[in-house]
Amino acid sequence: MSESRPRRPYRVTFVCTGNICRSPMAEHVLRKYVEDEGLLAVVDSSGTGGWHAGDPADHRTVRTLRRHGFTSDHSARKFHRGWFDDYDLVVALDDGHLRDLRALARDERDRDKIRLLRSFDPSAGPDLDVPDPYYEDDEAFEHVMDLIERAVPGMLAVIRLGLRETAA
């Protein structure tokens, strides 16, 4: 008779620069879809820099999330090297974040967890950066929302696959 161990949730974190605009927006969007599908997954976010640690999301991020029916509660934090062990998927929002995360990675196992958000969108084309809306207007935040929403189906497919693999 074999003992069954409890299933472990699939863990995703989004990483942008200060963790107040793009990554919290992606966190709340994916979290809602994960919850709606009843997937066993934990979704959060962080930044490559820690200067906004403890701050809420940018007011324009909050406004955009609420306008689209998503939650927005957030406290910024900085991504740390040791966190790679805690995540199955580390999603960078642009190429600069990708480089920073790869530099933090301790080995190939850590590097294999890192993906660009737009790599999950088959229609993305060659430019996979999600532009930073911080110095822009509400329209830029809406554009970020659109890019995130387009990547969600691909991320959900990866989460489903990861959950099947851990259940086996």
The residues annotated with a catalytic role in the active site are 16, 22, 132
Nearest to 29 by CA among 60, 86, 72: 72
Torsion, CA 42, CA 47, CA 51, CA 57, rounded to 10: -60
For residues 61 and 46, what is the distance between their CA atoms, to the nearest angstrom?
Answer: 15
Q: Residues of 60-89 as b/e, b for ≥16 C-beta within 10 angstroms? A: bbbebbeeeebebebebbbbeeebbeebbb
